[in-house]
Amino acid sequence: MTEPAFDPAQALKIDLSRGLLTLQGSSGRVLVPTDGLVELLTAANGDAVAAFGAGMGSEIGRRISDRLGSGIQQASVELFLEHLGGELALTGLGSLSVERWGKALVLCVEGLKVDARLERVIASLLEAALQRSLSRDVAAILLSREGAVLRFLVAGRHARPQIEKWLAAGIPYGDVLTKLHQASVAESGTTRGES
């Protein structure tokens, strides 16, 4: 079985005669400078910024779902990353990579302008893309910001407060990931003992 690879050919179309920019047949796009976008996001409140990113992520998730079809649930990490990273690159919001820390899924975005608002946009985008494509309600929590690399831990929404609490306490994200696994082991041991 051949898995559908991400093909960016003809994904971005520039209709010069009409002055339109379309992305894979979706609605019109506008090329705006990143600085201008950042200024606009700065003037907006948090909810609006989150909604902006969620809107973009929802479209990305829909397109991934359309391409992978019913086999999206069986798509390998590489394949799904190929599509998700390709879609993110088409929007000009950086390059995507995946890290697996045990059972923890960490999405790394690189090449984005360092800005808190943009980070919020990316987090919302990833959440919406995963929710739309895989039907999982997840929380993309910013673990670290190292240079131009942003690490987002994908966890359950219920775990967000605890993880953000750890991070706010100054715990390195490696320790946070360890704590997550410790908690998982503890839960599994409890479950095993109950059984």
Near other proteins by CB under 8 A: residue from 98, 113, 115, 164: 98
Told to check if 182 binds other proteins by CB under 8 A, we report: yes
Q: How far is the CB of 42 from other proteins (least distance, A)?
A: 25
Could you say whether residue 65 binds other proteins (CB under 8 A)?
no
- The answer to whether residue 34 forms part of the interface with other proteins (CB under 8 A) is no
3 state DSSP class of 69? helix
153 binds other proteins, rule: CB under 8 A:
yes
Q: How many CA atoms lie within 13 A of 48 on its CB side?
A: 8
Using the rule CB under 8 A, is 15 a contact of other proteins?
Answer: yes
- Helices first, then strands: H and E counts in the chain: 6, 6
Q: Is 103 in the site for other proteins (CB under 8 A)?
A: yes
Q: Which residues have a Cβ under 8 Å from the Cβ of 145 and sit 6 or more positions away?
A: 114, 119, 151
168 binds other proteins (CB under 8 A): no
Phi, psi angles (nearest 5°) of residue 98: -125, 140
Minimum CB–partner distance for residue 187 and other proteins (Å): 6
Number of residues near other proteins (by CB under 8 A): 70
Question: How many Å apart are CA 6 and CA 39, to the nearest integer?
Answer: 32
| Packing angle of the helix pair 77-90, 46-68 (nearest 10 deg) | 130
For residue 18, give both structure tokens.
């009409």
The answer to whether 177 contacts other proteins (rule: CB under 8 A) is: yes
Q: Which residues bind other proteins (CB under 8 A)?
A: 2-3, 5-17, 72-82, 85-86, 89-90, 95-105, 111, 130, 134, 136, 138, 144, 146, 153-156, 158-159, 162-163, 172-175, 177-178, 180-185, 187-188
